[in-house]
Amino acid sequence: MTSGLTTQQETRPSAAAKPVRWAADAVATLREGARLRLDYSARSLWRVDRLIEGIRAEQAPYAAVETVLRGLGAYAGEVIVRQAGAEWWSAGGDHWVRTPDGRLWDPIDEARRCFAGDGSLRLLCRQATGG
């Protein structure tokens, strides 16, 4: 067994811990603060995209919404994990979703791109799940 495989085996089970927590925090915060219910369905990502568009329209500074965007990106990643049988991967503090076909997706960065006006978590999920 190579050291690369050992590292992957050691980090893969824990790779989901942070993004799953970030997603759960986002769901709870939006349920309580914005009365927005998210159910980890692909359809719910339409509401998330609209929410990010609204935040952008308010011209919120990135530093003020960075944690929210991370949580919404993690939520989208968790939707992909549940819909496609994918899994979280991490390295160097970054987190990706790996679909069964071996492709890597970066939903947290996609949330940032949505905020910049050039992304869609709904479309990312559609591409990743083939739906």
**Residue 104, SS3 per DSSP:** strand
The pTM of the whole model exceeds 0.85? yes
pLDDT of residue 99: 96
14-17 long-range Cβ contacts below 8 angstroms, 24+ apart:
14/90, 15/87, 15/88, 15/89, 15/90, 15/95, 16/81, 16/87, 16/88
Give the DSSP per-residue string, 69-97: HHHHHHHHHHHHHHHHT-EEEEETTEEEE
The one-digit pLDDT tens for each residue of the chain (131 residues) are 334 444 443 444 578 899 999 999 999 999 988 888 999 999 999 999 999 999 999 999 999 999 999 999 999 999 999 999 999 999 888 999 999 999 999 999 999 999 999 999 999 999 999 97
Structural class in CATH, domain 3-129: mainly alpha
Nearest to 23 by CA among 45, 8, 43: 45
Whole-Å CA distances, 112 to 4, 5, 11, 82, 94: 30, 31, 25, 22, 14
For the chain, the domains span 3-129
